[in-house]
Amino acid sequence: MRSRINIGTQYNTGFVGRRRLLLAAMMSAMVILVGRAVYLQILNKDFLQDKADMQHVGVVPVSAYRGQIKDRNGAPLAISAPVQSIWVNPRQLKESDSEKIGQMAKILSTPEKELRAVLKKEADKRFVYIKRQINPALAEKVKTLEINGVYFEREFKRYYPAGAVSGHLLGFTNIDDIGQEGMEHGYEHILRGKIGKKRVIKDGKGHVIKDVENIKEAEAGRDLVLTIDERIQYLAYRELQTALIDNKAHAASLVVLDAKNGDVLATVSQPSFNPNNRKELNSSRYRNRAMVDSFEPGSTVKPFVVAAALDGGYISPNMIIETHGAYQFGRNVIKDVHNYGTLDLTHVLQKSSNIGVAKIAMTMPPEYFWGVYSKLGFGTSAGVGFPGEASGALLDYQNWHEFDQAALSFGYGVSTSILQLARAWTALADDGIVHSVTLLKRDEDPDAQRVFKPETARRVREMLEHVISKEGTAYQARVEGYRVAGKTGTVKKAGAGGYTDDKYLSVFVGMAPASNPRFIIAIVVDEPTSGQYYGGLVAAPAFSKVMAGALRVYGVEPDGVENMHLLLSRK
């Protein structure tokens, strides 16, 4: 009996000892863990931070693709290409990576001294761009260096395949892919996409090692399809550049319109700039003169005066006008370059007689005369959505003096852009209907309105064909095989003390084929200095070459008398 009790006592004693030993071990482990936690979180917290940085979940932006800009046939004029940008968190850089930073500078063609100076200056920041919008292949080379604190971001860079040919029209975007000028700026709300977001897992180098989920899908911008025909745009660019150089001019602008619907097929300004080369981006070069500059159109408005007077019944088609000497308006005197004597309506336009057209203008009531100019669009913006486009100016008839009406008849006292002037000429080209103009493709012109009777427009077109004859002022505007109708303008530029005697605008507007016009081309050359300054000698040659090319590209049949046998043989 006693032996059994001893055995039980020994058993209990052993159990209690083991229990105490286990508890002691557990308490020791807890003390060690608490001590370790205190050490890591308080005394050496950078260790845990580094561990956390080795792999963590984050939210990153997803770049949105900017919409393309295309010409009427789908040819790309502005596209976006994926690129990489490199940024750094200076707080995460380590001394041990100093050599790698030098290697990165060499890869990026950045002066090492300059890079290190930036990193030193921004040492307290968490975000500093090192290089933006670089070739992805270069970014991959930098990634292989595995530098702590260096990160990579996908972006898009805008590229313009036509370069300087369409630079003034398209404009450009800034480093953040936001439109700054031209169509890029004017239609930013259409082209710009919406940035998305996604949750990812990154490693300690900032590399995305796994996509977790899409939080918000990026939305690509919409494409913009223009009325521009890249082929005609190139022709216009080339010939206008030649005109600028040959005439040693300050600047020049040219517009090509579809005579039947107001589509802008080409718009060019010189001197040009290449939007792919940001070193050229200064305001003196990238201003689109065809859209934003206004000027007095001179004699190019004379056909409207004749058409308005005929249409309103204020003159007859057989009217004869005496242009001898001078036409006196109080203190103002109207003169012609030569004494043309007695002229009919056709020869008033052919010789560009200021006296003749002024006398025609004075047959009309001011309100009616002003109303025709207003319907043609003078004093009203062309409304194509181009930033800063000119409205021009047309003084209300109630504020006219007698001479104002006479001056308006030969293009002084009214201002217009070259685009607005080309728009007005659609009224003559499309049998009396003036079209609104557009840079965006559309099915029809909803704002077309009649200004002249069809027979009036056709009659004036026939008169304007004589301007292109040897006896007219624009023989150099002729196009072989086609009947051409047009009008020159030679305008004195306004200066501080009035009109100058040595600075001119050389202007020409014309259409072809005259029998059924397909295109209208308007050109202004600003301050030619090579010796010639008449519109028929400076602007008309460029018109001829661009028109010939446009007619050829579109396969328009010739209507010249010398080609009638060709037309008959085809039918």
Report the candidate in 217, 173, 206, 190 with the shortest Cα–Cα distance to residue 80. 173
Instruction: Decide: 432 and 375 in contact? Cβ < 8 Å.
Output: no
Query: What own/partner pairs with CB < 8 Å and gap ≥ 24 does 120-123 have?
Result: 122/90, 123/90, 123/91
Q: If you count them, how many residues does the chain have? A: 571
Question: 78 Cβ partners below 8 Å, 6+ apart?
Answer: 68, 69, 158, 159, 160, 170, 183, 184
- What does DSSP assign to residue 482? B
- 390, with CB counted inside 10 A (0-12, 13-18, 19+), is buried
What number of other Cβ atoms are within 10 A of residue 515's Cβ? 16
The reported pLDDT for the residue numbered 7 is 52
Q: How far apart are CA 338 and CA 340, in angstroms?
A: 6
Instruction: Decide: 219 and 194 in contact? Cβ < 8 Å.
Output: yes
The region that residue 288 occupies, defined by phi over 0 for left and psi between -120 and 50 for alpha, beta otherwise, is beta
Q: How far apart are CA 192 and CA 176, in angstroms?
A: 11
- Per DSSP bridges, beta strands 264-270 and 449-450 are unpaired
Report the candidate in 346, 357, 298, 354 with the shortest Cα–Cα distance to residue 523. 298
Scan for tokens 């079209």, then name that residue.
435
Q: Is 3.40.710.10 the CATH classification of the domain at 230-570?
A: yes
Structure-token pair, residue 417 = 């852009």
Say whether 98 is catalytic: no
Tell me, what amino acid is at 457? A
The reported pLDDT for the residue numbered 400 is 92
Show pLDDT as tens, one digit a residue, over the chain (571 residues). Answer: 445 545 555 556 666 677 778 777 788 777 777 776 666 566 555 555 555 555 566 666 767 889 999 999 999 999 999 899 998 888 888 888 888 889 999 999 999 888 988 888 888 888 889 898 888 899 899 988 988 888 888 888 999 999 999 999 999 999 888 999 999 999 999 999 887 776 666 655 555 545 556 677 778 899 999 999 999 999 999 999 999 999 999 999 999 999 999 999 999 999 999 999 877 567 778 889 999 999 999 999 999 999 999 999 999 999 999 998 889 887 889 999 999 999 999 999 999 999 999 999 999 999 999 999 999 999 999 999 999 999 999 999 999 988 999 999 999 999 999 999 999 999 999 999 999 999 999 989 999 999 999 999 999 999 999 999 999 999 999 999 999 999 999 999 987 778 888 899 999 999 999 999 999 999 999 999 999 999 999 999 999 999 999 999 999 999 986 544 444 444 4
Structure-token pair, residue 155 = 């972006």
Enumerate the β-bridge partners of residue 391.
none
Instruction: Decide: 137 and 247 in contact? Cβ < 8 Å.
Output: no
Tell me, what amino acid is at 441? K
Q: How far apart are CA 394 and CA 135, in angstroms?
A: 52
Scan for tokens 């209990």, then name that residue.
12
Strand order in the sheet with 208-216: 55-62, 196-203, 208-216
Q: How far apart are CA 310 and CA 293, in angstroms?
A: 32
Q: What phi and psi values does residue 321 have, to the nearest 5 degrees?
A: -125, 135
Instruction: Decide: 374 and 421 in contact? Cβ < 8 Å.
Output: no
- 89, with CB counted inside 10 A (0-12, 13-18, 19+), is middle
What number of other Cβ atoms are within 10 A of residue 484's Cβ? 25
Q: How far apart are CA 65 and CA 206, in angstroms?
A: 23
Topology (CATH level 3) of domain 59-225? Penicillin-binding protein 2a (Domain 2) (3.90.1310)
Q: How far apart are CA 356 and CA 350, in angstroms?
A: 11
Report the candidate in 196, 203, 182, 212 with the shortest Cα–Cα distance to residue 439. 182
Can you give the pTM of this predicted structure?
A: 0.83
Q: How far apart are CA 205 and CA 100, in angstroms?
A: 14
Give the 3-state secondary structure percentages of the chain, helix then strand then coil, rounded to 5. Answer: 40, 25, 35
Report the candidate in 281, 348, 300, 293 with the shortest Cα–Cα distance to residue 320. 348
- Per DSSP bridges, beta strands 519-526 and 55-62 are unpaired
Q: Where are the domains of the chain?
A: 59-225, 230-570
Sign of the CA dihedral running 75, 253, 300, 313: positive
Q: What phi and psi values does residue 372 have, to the nearest 5 degrees?
A: -65, -45
Instruction: Decide: 163 and 157 in contact? Cβ < 8 Å.
Output: no
Report the candidate in 521, 497, 518, 496 with the shortest Cα–Cα distance to residue 508. 521
Q: What phi and psi values does residue 411 have, to the nearest 5 degrees?
A: 85, 20
Residues 16/17/20/22 CA torsion (nearest 10 deg) = -110
Structure-token pair, residue 504 = 């001119």
The reported pLDDT for the residue numbered 561 is 63
Q: How far apart are CA 525 and CA 439, in angstroms?
A: 23
Q: How far is CA 531 from CA 245, 502, 534, in A?
A: 13, 11, 10
Structure-token pair, residue 365 = 């009531």
The H or E element that residue 380 is part of is none
Where b means 16+ CB within 10 Å and e means fewer, 398-410 reads eebeebbbbbbbb
Report the candidate in 460, 503, 481, 505 with the shortest Cα–Cα distance to residue 565. 481
Catalytic residue among 63, 85, 299, 353: 299
- Per DSSP bridges, beta strands 150-159 and 172-173 are unpaired
